[in-house]
Amino acid sequence: MDRLTAAKVFVDVAITRSFTATAERLDMSRPMVTRYVDSLENWLNVRLFHRTTRKVSLTSAGETCLPEVQGWIGQAEKLQYQLMVRDELVGKVRIAASMSFAFSQLIPAVEAFMDKHPRVEIDVDVQESAVDLVAERIDLAIRITSDPDPALIGRSLAKCESVLVASQTYLDSAPEIKRPADLGKHKCLGYRNFEHHIWHLERDRHQESVEVSCVLTSNEATTLLSAAHYGMGISLQPTYLVSGALARGELVQVLPRWRPKSLDIYALYSSRKHLPPAVRALIDHLVAFYSDREWQDIRL
């Protein structure tokens, strides 16, 4: 059997502590996972795992072998990439991103990259919360934050500006909004992750923080955007998602002279060591692609 694949299966089982979980993650049958582990054990002439019906754990020999096997995989992959035809990228890249960004902005960027590199496969994992990139086998995470995980390596892609929006139907039937404090009288649409819904706004270096009442909450921006379209209240939305609806007059910007706090859009990865060329090229492509996006600094 292919020893490099067997080594990768061994490392994955060491992470998941489950033959079944590894089979699902690597898209192979559980008996095949067992065969690869058996093959590696026979090759190394050691037992790598303690196995029971309920638990899988590394033997002392397995613990000793794990970093060596990981290093061998890294060297083997590096050699494979060095032997490739120049500028011809191959491989599979797993990207984690929020649904709103993946839907509205990531796919156009990925489409342009795959046109240039047709032998690269992209897998987009839609996630609304941070995950362990190593455990989930994520090559690249696109995250919007003011405080990226210091354990990860990141490159800034763009600024994420936000605006307050509502439908004209909602605004016609609700109290007038002249200043941030007026938001407290309105139905608002908020993110579930916050116990207290406080919107921070700034105008001419003057800041105001308003606690709002959220009649509907969600962990995902496109759901709140849909609610705003249906006239259910005021929503705080990233411009990359809502700029089209504003331009078409489907939604109205609320308090346009007041700006919510901006965040940064990062491409994050776990390590520079043995970073596959396809991943490195994709990061460079995203930086260039988002450098002049019109939604970054909307003025309506």
Count CB atoms within 10 A of the CB of residue 242. Answer: 27
DSSP label at 72?
H
> Which of 178, 174, 193, 175 lies closest to 232, judged by CA?
174
d(CA 214, CA 232) in angstroms, rounded, equals: 10
Query: Looking at the predicted structure, is the pLDDT value of residue 244 above 50?
Result: yes
d(CA 208, CA 201) in angstroms, rounded, equals: 5
The residues, ordered by sequence, that sit 6+ positions from 185 with a Cβ below 8 Å of its Cβ are: 175
Return the percentage of the chain with pLDDT > 90, whole number.
56
- Condensed to tens digits (0 to 9), the pLDDT of residues 92-122 reads 899 999 999 999 999 999 999 999 999 999 9
The pLDDT of residue 26:
83
Q: What are phi and psi of 144, to 5 degrees?
A: -110, 115
> Which of 77, 98, 128 lies closest to 280, judged by CA?
77
Query: Looking at the predicted structure, is the pLDDT value of residue 299 above 60?
Result: no
Beta sheet of 263-269, edge-to-edge order: 120-126, 91-97, 140-145, 263-269, 153-160
Amino acid at 158: A
Domain pair 3-82 / 91-159+264-297, same fold? no
- Condensed to tens digits (0 to 9), the pLDDT of residues 4-26 reads 889 999 998 998 889 988 888 88
The pTM for the full model equals 0.69
Domain boundaries, the chain: 3-82, 91-159+264-297, 162-260
Identify the three-state secondary structure at position 107.
helix
Query: Looking at the predicted structure, is the pLDDT value of residue 247 above 80?
Result: yes
d(CA 6, CA 42) in angstroms, rounded, equals: 11
* Contact between residue 74 and residue 2 where contact means Cβ atoms under 8 Å apart: no
Overall CATH class of domain 162-260: alpha beta
Place of tokens 């996630």: 127
Residue range 231-256: average pLDDT? 95
What is the third-level CATH fold of 3-82?
Answer: Arc Repressor Mutant, subunit A (1.10.10)
Query: Looking at the predicted structure, is the pLDDT value of residue 230 above 50?
Result: yes
> Which of 140, 166, 164, 137 lies closest to 152, judged by CA?
140
What is the third-level CATH fold of 91-159+264-297?
Answer: D-Maltodextrin-Binding Protein; domain 2 (3.40.190)
